[in-house]
Amino acid sequence: MDQITVEPESKKKFLLQHDRPNCIGCAACAAVNGKHWEMNEDGKSDIIGGKNKEGGWQELEIEEADVEKNLEAAETCPVNVIHLAEKEGKKVI
Helices (H) and strands (E) in the chain, counts: 2, 6
Cβ proximity to ligand SF4, 65 vs 79, nearer residue: 79
Residues within window 12-41 making contact with ligand SF4, judged by CB under 6 A: 23-29
Instruction: Number of residues interacting with ligand SF4: please give it, by CB under 6 A.
Output: 13
Q: From residue 51 to residue 90, what is the string marking binding to ligand SF4 with x (rule CB under 6 A)?
A: -------------------------xx-x-xx--------
CB of 61 to ligand SF4, least distance (A): 18
Cβ–Cβ < 8 Å for 78, 28? yes
CB of 28 to ligand SF4, least distance (A): 4
Cβ–Cβ < 8 Å for 80, 73? no
φ, ψ for residue 74, nearest 5 deg: -65, -40
Instruction: Say which residues have a Cβ less than 8 Å from residue 68's Cβ, sequence separation at least 6.
Output: none
Residues that bind ligand SF4 in the complex, under the rule CB under 6 A: 23-29, 45, 76-77, 79, 81-82
